[in-house]
């Protein structure tokens, strides 16, 4: 008889927060290009979503560290399905006939500007997220075993560095190869990668607090010693 599934107090809340952050950062923040002045780099253009998307990796690290790879895998699939639904819904709403009137004409133009990303960009975003998130969780779980649970900061930063590298590289190459110059793609991807990874470094003290709280409240500190690391399942 299989072991009964553990009942956790906070897992569902973290999963919901993970999905919300993921969808919002992809559909609200991604449409705005902002600028920042950085030492040595000068004026840098970046997508508004880059300020919030790393929070998804923050939650991913917490889920893997406390509950294990399988629980984070379920969260990644929930996020992937949510992103897919949002992308399909956006295209359907934009394609619906517009009611007459100047207001709705302007509203339709705004919808197309914010949510009318091409399918190439939408698919690149979802595939990059899927690959990057699973890589992040896998590295996090394996490093926990190798380090025997020590040096949480090394695991969170190291796993995020790997996951964000895969995410940023895949997204910009899949979305803009042949549209932008290759040098421009590499430059933008590198800046996004540095910003996202730096966010994880700055969030390390908060990560320690949240992880310690959850381990104490959930009475759980999972090690993925016998875990099946295939990404193609949602069973925990």
Two tokens at 115?
Answer: 């949510």
Could you list the residue range(s) of the whole structural domain that residue 64 is in?
11-218
**CATH code, 88:** 1.10.1760
Is 130 within the bounds of a domain? yes
Is 234 within the bounds of a domain? no
CA-to-CA distance for 142 and 174, rounded, in angstroms? 28
* CB of 143 closer than 8 Å to CB of 154: yes
Helices (H), the chain: 11-27, 54-66, 69-95, 102-115, 119-146, 152-176, 182-202, 204-218
How do the pLDDT tens digits run along the chain, 236 residues long? 445 557 899 999 999 999 999 988 887 766 667 777 877 777 777 777 788 889 999 999 999 999 999 999 999 999 999 999 988 998 899 999 999 999 999 999 988 877 776 677 788 889 999 999 999 999 999 999 999 999 999 999 999 999 999 998 998 888 888 878 888 888 888 888 988 899 999 999 999 999 999 999 999 999 999 999 999 999 88
Is 235 within the bounds of a domain? no
**What confidence score (pLDDT) does residue 87 get?**
87
pTM, to two decimals: 0.89
> Which DSSP symbol is given to 180?
B
CA-to-CA distance for 48 and 194, rounded, in angstroms? 15
**What confidence score (pLDDT) does residue 46 get?**
73
**What confidence score (pLDDT) does residue 5 get?**
58
Strands 33-38 and 42-47: what pairing?
antiparallel
* CB of 193 closer than 8 Å to CB of 168: yes
* CB of 138 closer than 8 Å to CB of 166: no
Dihedral over alpha carbons 10, 13, 19, 23 (to 10 degrees): -140
Is 150 within the bounds of a domain? yes
CA-to-CA distance for 223 and 147, rounded, in angstroms? 11
- Which residues lie below 8 Å from residue 20, measured CB to CB, with a gap of 6+? none
Is 91 within the bounds of a domain? yes
Is 129 within the bounds of a domain? yes
CA-wise closest residue to 69 among 132, 8, 133, 137: 137
* CB of 197 closer than 8 Å to CB of 161: yes
Q: At what angle do helices 11-27 and 54-66 cross, to 10 degrees?
A: 160
| Residue 138 Cα distances to 56, 205, 230, 236, angstroms | 15, 22, 10, 15
Number of domains in the chain: 1
Is 79 within the bounds of a domain? yes
Is 232 within the bounds of a domain? no
């Amino acid at each position: 008889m299989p072991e009964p599934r553990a009942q956790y107090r906070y897992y569902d809340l973290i999963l919901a927060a993970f999905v919300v952050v993921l969808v919002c950062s992809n559909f609200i923040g991604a449409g705005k290009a902002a600028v920042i002045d950085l030492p040595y780099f000068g004026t840098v253009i970046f997508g508004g979503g880059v300020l919030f998307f790393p929070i998804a990796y923050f939650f991913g690290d917490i889920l893997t560290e406390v509950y294990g790879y399988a629980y984070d895998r379920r969260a990644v699939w929930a996020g992937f399905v949510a992103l897919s639904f949002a992308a399909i819904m956006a295209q359907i709403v934009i394609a619906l006939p517009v009611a007459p009137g100047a207001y709705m004409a302007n509203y339709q133009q705004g919808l197309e500007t914010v949510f009318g990303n091409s399918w190439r960009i939408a698919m690149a975003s979802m595939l990059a997220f899927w690959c990057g998130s699973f890589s992040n969780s896998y590295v996090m779980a394996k490093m926990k075993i190798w380090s025997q649970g020590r040096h949480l900061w090394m695991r969170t930063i190291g796993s995020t560095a790997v996951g964000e590298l895969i995410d940023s590289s895949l997204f910009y190459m899949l979305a803009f190869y042949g549209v932008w110059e290759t040098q421009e793609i590499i430059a933008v991807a590198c800046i996004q990668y540095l910003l996202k990874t730096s966010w994880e470094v700055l969030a390390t003290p908060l990560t320690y607090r949240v992880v310690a709280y959850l381990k104490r409240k959930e009475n759980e500190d999972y090690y993925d010693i016998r875990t099946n690391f295939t990404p193609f399942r949602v069973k925990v």
